[in-house]
Amino acid sequence: MRISLAAFISCLAIPAAAETPVLTVLTYDSFISEWGPGPAVEKAFESICSCDVRFVSGGDGASLLARLQLEGASSEADVVLGLDTNLTAAAEATGLFAPHGQPAANALPTAYDNALFLPYDWSWFAFVYDKTKHPNPPKSFEELAASDLKVVIQDPRSSTPGLGLLLWVKAAYGDRAAEIWTGLSDNILTVTPGWSEAYGLFTEGEADMVLSYVTSPAYHRIGEQDDTKDWAPFSEGHYLQVEVSGILANSDQPELAQAFMAFTQSPEFQSVIPETNWMYPATDIALPEGFETTRPEKSLLFSDVEAQSTRQAALEEWQSSLSQ
């Protein structure tokens, strides 16, 4: 019965090319959209690997990990691309990952060296605003709390930028985090499940500021020839999001997976990142014209283990401060 059911259903599937080896990359949704890095990355790697790259998407960064945990050792994926360092401790604990064998990426503002996870891009979180409407943006969380600006943020329970903001406030203020959230509560217009809803509310003019990245204005400048958007530098420093990839220990294509990891550090891969994923490349290559104006003076980042251990308490703090 099992076999006949499987045989029946596999008839419905598109038959895969049997001869060329297939590298399955599990990643987040926006990576494989027509404007994401996916298509160019696939083409570039296929031209050197004599293999077939197949992307499988599983929602956003957080749901990638859940997907892996669900599939366990029987996952089809060879490589996972799109976790961030707030999730790597949990990812490591699954025991599903194998060492990538590559030297650490060299263009990050803080060193990140992990045997299992290799950064492929990164950016700082920041509040993005329209500089024609707000010539003097707040310069810190405290100034934001004191202003009457309305911001839209993402829910840390369902989105990785939301979790990033939670840890940003915690890293900057420690025990005062709850107080900061209480101060911010009348500035938070609303909380969205994911990044795209929040950013949509901002571009529709519903909110004054949105939690996004310092590299978001670059999209508007380069992609839309619109120089009205900017990010507000905060004196506390800016929390980093470092996006990483890793090899699954159970991959049936370990050599290909290793080759792909090396490829993520190559100029061919890295040069695609800035203008498709709108993040900083992880290696030292030239940035596109107009990509960057200024950088934050100070970077904040919890270690993988700290991020994991801080999260639950910070979440409860966030929830109770905003529910009052």
Partner 1 sequence: MAKLAVAIGLFALILVTAPLVAVAYRAGGLGLSAADWSALRFTLWQALLSAILSVLLAIPVAKALSRRHFFGRSTLITLLGAPFLLPVIVAVMGLLALFGRSGVLNTALSALGLPTLSIYGLQGVLIAHVFLNFPLATRMILQGWQAIPAERFRLAESLSFTPREIHRHLERPMLIEVLPGTFATIFAMCLTSFAVALILGGGPRATTLELAIYQAVRFEFDLAHAAGLALLQVLVGGLAALVAWIAARQAGFGAGLDRRLPLPAPTGWRLWLDSTAILFATLFLLGPMLAVLLPAISGLLDLPSQVWPALARSLAVALGSTLLTCVTALVLALGAARGQRWLDIAATLPLATSGLVLGTGLFVLLQPLIPPASLALPVTLLVNTLLALPFAYRLLLPEARALETDYGRLADSLGLHGLARLRLLSLPRLARPLGFSAGLTAALSMGDLGVIALFASESQATLPLVIQRLSGAYKQDVAAAASVLLVASSFALFWLFDRKGRNAQA
Footprint of partner 1 (CB under 8 A): 2, 5-6, 9-10, 12-14, 28-30, 32-36, 38, 54-60, 62-63, 65-67, 69-71, 74, 76, 90, 150, 155, 157-158, 163, 185, 188-197, 199-201, 203-207, 216, 219, 223, 276, 278, 318-319, 322-323
Least Cβ distance, residue 298 to partner 1 (angstroms): 27
Q: Which long-range contacts (CB under 8 A, 24 or more apart) does 67-70 make?
A: 67/26, 68/26, 68/94, 68/96, 68/248, 69/94
Q: Which is nearer to partner 1, 59 or 109 (CB)?
A: 59
Segment holding 123, helix H or strand E = strand 118-130
Q: CB of residue 286 vs partner 1: minimum separation in angstroms?
A: 22
Residue with tokens 């050792």: 73
**Cα angle vertex 167, ends 165, 173, to 5°?**
100
199 touches 211 (CB < 8 A): no
In the complex, minimum distance from the CB of residue 42 to partner 1, in angstroms, rounded to a whole number: 9
Helix, strand, coil tally for the chain in percent (to 5):
40, 20, 40
Nearer to partner 1, 78 or 237 (CB): 78
Cα 84 to Cα 264: distance, rounded to the nearest angstrom: 15
Residue number, 188 or 285, with CB nearest to partner 1: 188
Least distance (Å) from partner 1 to the CB of residue 13?
3
Q: Choose between 161 and 296: whose C-beta lies nearer to partner 1.
A: 161
CB of 110 to partner 1, least distance (A): 25
Residue 258, amino acid? Q
CB of 225 to partner 1, least distance (A): 14
Among the listed residues 64, 130, 128, the one whose alpha carbon sits nearest the alpha carbon of residue 97: 64
Instruction: Give whichever of 231 and 237 is closer to partner 1, judged by the CB atom.
Output: 231
Smaller CB separation from partner 1, 32 or 116: 32
191 or 214: CB nearest partner 1: 191
CA dist., res. 34 & res. 30, Å (int)? 9
Give the separation between CA 180 and CA 169, rounded to whole angstroms.
8
Bridging pattern class, strands 238-248 and 97-98: antiparallel
CB of 66 to partner 1, least distance (A): 5
Q: Quick one: which H or E segment has residue 168?
A: helix 160-173
